[in-house]
Structure 1
Amino acid sequence: MNDTFMKTKPVFPLLVSMALPNVISMLVNSLYNIVDSLFVARISEQAMTALSLVFPVQNLINAISIGFGIGINAQIALYLGAGDREKADISATHGMALSMLHGLLCTLIGIAIMPGFLRRFTADESLVSMGVLYTTIVFLFSIVNMANLAFEKMFQAVGRMKTTMAALIAGCVCNIVLDPVLIFGLGPVPALGIAGAALATNLGQFVSFCIYLSCYSTADLPVRLRRKHLRPNAVLDSKLYAIGIPAILNLALPSLLVTFLNSLLAAFSQSYVTVLGIYYKLQTFLYLPANGIVQGMRPLVGYNYGAKEHGRVAKLYRLTLGLSAAIMAVGTVLCLTISGSLIGLFSSNPETIAIGAKALRIICLGFIVSAVSTTSSGALEGLGKGMPSLVISLCRYVLFIMPLAWLLCRAFGPTGVWHAFWITEVCSAAIAFVVYRKAVAKK
């Protein structure tokens, strides 16, 4: 397969061709996240609260799989751009093996820590029981999830975006179809409640995994998994982790943030914790499509950077920034105009709806400017510059929002937490712009 199109095709149609399948995939994935939550909310608001409490740990597991996958993606793209196919093969092989090892460790550690983790935020044993049941089932498929993400990033690195789109959509559709069947029961299938939601998630991931295996065995890819490359290679593995660890931390920081915010909000009312969980479900419908554009950009900037096409790297960054900001503008309008209806999808509790509507109207003020941080971090990861990307995320998720939320919460109550979101995005955008410019200036 010829991969030179990534440095010869005009920038705009190239980015669109790479990003559009990802955007479609992310929209379907966002729809799955929302539909899955809607079905869980129909069990009870208590079940929705349980999902809100387990979100940080579940997000951490996803961060490990996606973050290390970004390292795989960047290394393959950089080596292919430089014309070194053997090192691209080694990167793919080691990336897959290490991803599956990560999955095993996440299964064992995740199941062990969940009871104690949940009891830090609630004394309600029924909430703890639901959370433990859900996460135990989900974590049992961590190896499959890790392998899925390794395949996804490998296919994306060589421009096979339609394959990743097909695999993700198939898994999400399977999950959406199975959710009501397994949660509420149908015919001979018993009603499994929150366990059914977890099982539907696992079966959807398994469908995606089977598609990747099938496509890999039949596709003519410029990069292959080879047994001979499984021997230790400390230098290359260190490069995978040099990109992957900052990317993992970038994606894991929201887990730390949500855990911190839950501890602040739980002191006022469980409804605030529920609203925060609902917000993170809703915002995926914006940030995941925007992330789809960033995913399309990432292998392109890596390939062109490896090929010394720095002018094209700059054009790709600017175009991605504009498209991401447009998506976030749509989200801002929706949250300002129909915030109550959006929260009402997940709860019939008038108190929760009132709190959530106010929260969305405040938080969305930072949506558009957040495109600067997300685009800059994604571009830096594609260029193999993991540490500058981590600096941006640390500012966004730790250095700014946590102190601001703590201070504003004490001054204005829980409403202060919502204001901390948009103030943080403004400050982080300024930092991200400076960090990105300095990092790319070092060629």
Structure 2
Amino acid sequence: MPIYAPMHLRQLFSKNVPITEGPILKNLLKLGAPLVLGNLLQQLYSIADIYWLGRLGKSAVAAPVVSFPILFLFISIATGFSMAGTSLIAQHVGKGNHHGISRVAGQVVLTMLGFAMIVVVLGVFLADPVLELIHTPTEILPNVTIYMKILFAGMPALFLYFVYSGIMQGYGDTVSPLIVQVISVTINVVLDPFMIFGWGPFPVMGVAGAATATVVARSFAALVGLGFLISKRFGVKLRFSDLRPDRKLIRDIFAIGIPGSVGQTATAMGFIIMNGIVNSFGTIVITAYGVVNRLTMLFLFPAMGIGQAATTFIGQNLGAGKHERARDTVTKGAIFVFVYLTIGMTLTFFFGHYFISFFIPNDPEVIATGAEFIRILAFSVVVFGSMFLPQAAFQGAGHTKPIMIINIIRLWGIRLPLAYLLAITAGMGAVGIWWGMFISNVVSTSLYWIWYARGSWEHHYIKREQLDLRASVDAEYRPSKRL
């Protein structure tokens, strides 16, 4: 019997999306489109804060800018555990084990809430010494500190939304989380000026108001997401009994989540070091680097969305025993991404200076530096974009160690050493940084495809655990008077 992504609110946007049968590419695009929009919307939280705080001056704008790398380290860890939930849920859906779906959902919620509480304590108490350690200028320190502490205090809400989104993605519903996120972002955008400037009944809160508005918006998303999980209308039927700790299942979640979290964290730290190398070449290079990175990310967002959707496709098809369809998902998704990025990067190669001048219209030096950067980087972005498909195979199967290893190699083994050696030791200047990025993209993507071709990922994670888990949850869900 085919598995369909649940409908409900999604009827406004698309038809049912068959995951274990039907045309792969068409359905992959349907499932991936909301994920692309979600990736774009996620950027609006910080964009809204920066926009309104810009009315208070550069000291206020520095709060989200300086806080982001530190906050992102912890968000990266949460992302890794969210991957674990998506992988396990998708495979249980493919096997038709609805009890297993609920049990996994409960244990992921429990694990993430426990971790979020640890992050709150660490973040609030370590914010001051960490900001001093990274030499935050004294004139912006108060704003950065209060902004970061408030966002750390709201981490449970963010983590809970990640759990909800990951669970629903694994189930095959990517539109319900998008709707929740649209409402959440709207709340943040509307509340920002009221809480920053003291409009209406609100006191003037400045930077603290921006952070508080973000936490309120994320709390809404978390509570609605949790409500959807508890209700029986959205596919997953989370019961209070599912929140009772299951050591075996929690161990499985950690086995999948820790490598993903380590890989994400290593990536975040690597980019902090990379920024330090770039910063040594001055404002022109810094600005060009920032603009080109944002430009390439706009082209990569659809590729990332296809990769996220492929994770669900692969997990469910492996769970259903359809290994060939899982492999076809990777192949067809990669071909689509390659063609799409070839067109996009060809345009940026020849017309990059026009794209860059859209962001920085009156600085010819930045435009020239950025255009040179994009001409060097363009081909590697085409290759790099295809990486999201073998990565999806590992994530969907629950084998996240290859992702961790290759991500560490990409940044710490190739990009950072090459950028330093070429740009500084060899005296190539900023061009050396661009070539270091080019080489790291091509080599790391090649490693992904080589590892994928070995086929070990097809021995999906829950296969050997399925009977034990099914037995335990069947006993759990026998008729009783308990919730």
In which range does the TM-score fall when normalised by the shorter chain?
A: 0.7 to 0.9
Q: CA deviation at 1:100?
A: 0.7
Do residues 125 (structure 1) and 146 (structure 2) align? no
Which is further off, 253-262 or 187-196? Answer: 187-196
Task: After TM superposition, give the deviation of residue 218 of structure 1 in Å.
Answer: 3.9
What displacement does 1:434 show?
0.4
Which of these residues, 413, 417, 429, is aligned with residue 403 of structure 1?
Answer: 417
| Structure-2 separation of matches of 1:42 and 1:350 | 27
CA contact (8 A) 1:372 1:432 kept: no
Residue 121 to residue 262, structure 1, CA distance change in 2 (3 Å): farther
Equivalent AA in structure 2 for residue 245 of structure 1 = I
Contact 1:52–1:277 (8 Å) recurs in 2: no
Determine which of 233, 240, 247 is the counterpart of 1:227. 240
Q: 1:220 & 1:252 partners in 2: Cα distance?
A: 35
1:336 aligns with 2:352: yes
- Is contact 2:116–2:156 with CA below 8 Å preserved after alignment? yes
Is 1:163 equivalent to 2:179 in the alignment?
A: no
**Structure 2 residues without counterparts, runs of 5 or longer:** 5-17, 460-483
Corresponding residue SS for 2:20: helix
CA separation of 1:358 and 1:389: change in aligned 2, threshold 3 A: same
1:375-409 CA-partner distances (Å, limit 9, x unpaired): 22222111111112222212222211111122123
Q: Which deviates the most, 15-24 or 333-342?
A: 333-342
Give 1:305 deviation, angstroms.
0.8
Query: What is the 5 A alignment of 1:244-323?
Result: 244-269=257-282, 284-323=297-336
Partner Cα separation in structure 1 for residue 155 and residue 171 of structure 2: 25
Instruction: Tell me if the contact between 1:343 and 1:353 (Cα under 8 Å) persists in the aligned partners.
Output: no
**2:454 is the alignment partner of 1:438:** yes
Query: Could you say if the C-alpha distance between residues 367 and 223 of structure 1 is closer, same or farther in structure 2, counting changes exceeding 3 Å?
Result: same
User: Which whole-Å deviations, capped at 9, do the CAs of 1:33-58 have from their partners, x for residues lacking one?
Assistant: 54544444554455555544332222
Q: Which whole-Å deviations, capped at 9, do the CAs of 1:98-133 have from their partners, x for residues lacking one? A: 111111111111233333333344352123333222
C-alpha change, 1:46 and 1:401, in structure 2 (3 Å) is farther
The DSSP-based 3-state class of the residue aligned with 1:412 is coil
- Specify which of 371, 387, 391 is matched with residue 377 of structure 1: 391
Is the deviation greater in 246-255 or in 88-97? 246-255
Find out whether 1:149 has 2:162 as its counterpart.
yes
Q: 2:3 aligns to what? A: 3
Secondary structure of the corresponding residue to residue 410 of structure 2:
helix
Tell me if 1:107 matches 2:123: no
Does 2:90 align with 1:74?
no
Q: In the aligned structure 1, how far is the partner of 2:128 from the partner of 2:135?
A: 11
How far 1:309 sits from its partner (Å)? 0.6
Displacement of 1:283 in angstroms is 5.1
Q: Distance in 1 between matches of 2:281 and 2:90?
A: 48
Which position in structure 1 is the counterpart of 2:438? 422
3-state secondary structure, aligned to 2:386: helix
Counterpart amino acid of residue 162 in structure 1: V
| 2:480 corresponding residue in structure 1 | none
For 2:448 and 2:156, the matched residues in 1 are separated by: 34
2:189 aligned to which of 176, 180, 183: 176
Q: Write out aligned runs for 1:179-218 (5 A).
A: 179-184=192-197, 186-187=199-200, 189=202, 192-218=205-231
- Taking the aligned partners of 1:188 and 1:353, their CA distance within structure 2 comes to 45
Report the alpha carbon displacement of residue 234 of structure 1 after superposing the two structures with TM: 2.7
The AA in structure 2 aligned to 1:417 is I
CA distance in 2, matches of 1:163, 1:439: 33
Larger Rg, first or second structure (1 or 2): 2
Which position in structure 2 is the counterpart of 1:95?
A: 108
Distance, in Å, in 2 between the alignment partners of 1:104 and 1:398 is: 30
Q: 3-state SS of the aligned residue for 1:15?
A: helix
Displacement, 1:330?
6.3
Alpha-carbon contact 1:130-1:194 (below 8 Å) kept: yes
Work out the CA distance in 1 between the residues paired with 2:211 and 2:449.
Answer: 40
* Structure possessing the higher relative contact order (Cα contacts under 8 Å, 6 or more residues apart): 1
What is the alpha-carbon distance in structure 1 between the residues aligned to residue 371 and residue 63 of structure 2? 21
Q: CA deviation at 1:233?
A: 2.7
Q: How does 1:39-54 map to 2 (within 5 A)?
A: 39-41=52-54, 43-45=56-58, 47-54=60-67
Q: Does 1:386 align with 2:400?
A: yes
Aligned residues: percent identity? Answer: 24
1:366 aligns with 2:380: yes
Q: Give CA-to-partner distance per residue, 1:321-379, whole Å, 9 cap, x none.
A: 2343455456633581434335439xx88887776666556545532211122222222
**C-alpha distance in 2, partners of 1:144/1:289?**
26
SS in 2 for 1:125: coil
* TM-score scaled by length of structure 2: 0.80
| Distance change in 2, residues 1:238/1:49 (3 Å) | same
Does the 8 Å CA contact 2:109/2:243 hold for their aligned counterparts? no
Compared CA separation, residues 395 and 160, structure 1 to 2 (3 A): same
* Letter in structure 2 aligned against 1:70: M
Contact 1:19 1:296 survives alignment (8 Å): yes
Could you say which residue in structure 1 is the equivalent of 2:337?
324
Measure, in 1, the Cα distance between the counterparts of 2:378 and 2:191. 32
Q: CA RMSD in A?
A: 3.1
In 2, Cα distance between the equivalents of 1:134 and 1:355?
33
CA contact (8 A) 2:86 2:166 kept: yes
Displacement of 1:92 = 0.9
Q: Structure 2 counterpart of 1:388, which letter? A: P
Cα distance between partner residues in 2 of 1:388 and 1:415: 30
Opposite residue 294 of structure 1, the aligned amino acid is G
Q: How does 1:231-242 map to 2 (within 5 A)?
A: 231-242=244-255
